[in-house]
Amino acid sequence: MNNVNGILLLIGSMAAFSLEDMFIKFLSGAVPTGQIMVCLGVFCGLVFAVMSVVTRKRIFDPVAWKLLPMLRAGTEGFGAVTFVTALSLIDLSTVAAVFQAMPLAVTMGAALFLGEQVGWRRWSAIGVGFIGVLMIIRPGLEGFQPDSLFVVLTVFAIAARDLITRRLDVRVASSVVAMQAYIAVALAGLLLMVVSGTPFVPVQSGQAGPYLGAIGFGVLGYYGIVTAMRVGEASAMMPFRYTRLVFSILAGMLMFGERPDALTMAGASLIIGSGLYTFIRERRLARNLVPV
């Protein structure tokens, strides 16, 4: 395992995802949310379909189209709807900060639904992390934005996706799983447009670049993170996932003039701190050094 290369690839993929989010938010000012999802889903799905064919992966293997892979794709589609909607309505930095709670939601879900043992220390860390989420979205306070709840829904949807991924048959190729995910994103976007009665709008001057940027950086980010997990140890790379928040804050400041306030930064710090504690605790438990 080459952890240095894996860490660099992971950081690069986090930067790519942040740039994808930036282009999506830019487009959302003039393009319906559903249309953005359809474009991303169709073109990114085609990329991974071609990748599967070139690498001789079995796209139509019956194992890949059973209930669990379909459920995973469904959670991906729902998560995409809530995430892109959040990007269109609130600050990029706020979206990124709340989204960092996703690993905590995965740990909680693994305890509740997969029977994994989680002791009081990690439950306490999860609680502290979600206090950080509350500090950012501020329900009941003057700065509360109801639209920020879309990010909370995204956190739980993507956590469910990751929990389902743990149960997928190892014979299902990663590129096929990615292709299914993007198909679900396209279908969810189309359904959103039908339900809302929103028509497709033609590509305007100056939008081709952001479209290509969102598609290109989305593919690069996904491919980068998959490759990183194959060349390095997941336990060594996990803390570097939080660099996405740094990149997103910079993108929000430079592109949209955002200025995260002190409460947002404090909440993000609690989320990251509790996430890192949970990671360290799980790593020590894996080595049988401490009780649960």
Per-residue pLDDT tens over the stretch 70-104: 999 999 999 999 999 999 999 999 999 999 999 89
Alpha helices in the chain (DSSP H): 3-28, 33-54, 67-89, 92-99, 102-113, 120-137, 149-165, 174-196, 208-231, 234-237, 243-256, 262-286
Q: Give the helix/strand (H/E) hosting 66.
A: none
pLDDT above 80 for 150: yes
Q: Is the pTM of this model over 0.85?
A: yes
Residue 119 has pLDDT above 60, yes or no: yes
| Token pair listed for 215 | 């598609």
Question: Which pLDDT score is estimated for 290?
Answer: 52
Q: What is the pLDDT of residue 241?
A: 87
Q: With residue 239 as reference, give the H or E element that holds it.
A: none
- What distance in Å separates the CA atoms of residue 260 and residue 263, rounded to the nearest whole number? 8
Token match 């709807």: residue?
A: 81
> Letter for the amino acid at 124?
S
Residue percentage of the chain with pLDDT more than 70: 97
Produce one character per residue of 116-132: b if its CB has 16 or more CB atoms within 10 Å, e if not: bebeeebeebbebbbeb
Continuous segment of H or E residues that includes residue 144 = none
pLDDT of 234 reads 66
Statement: residue 292 has pLDDT above 70: no
Average model confidence (pLDDT) across the chain: 91
Instruction: Grade residue 225 by pLDDT with cuts at 50, 70 and 90.
Output: confident
Percentage, residues of the chain above pLDDT 90: 70
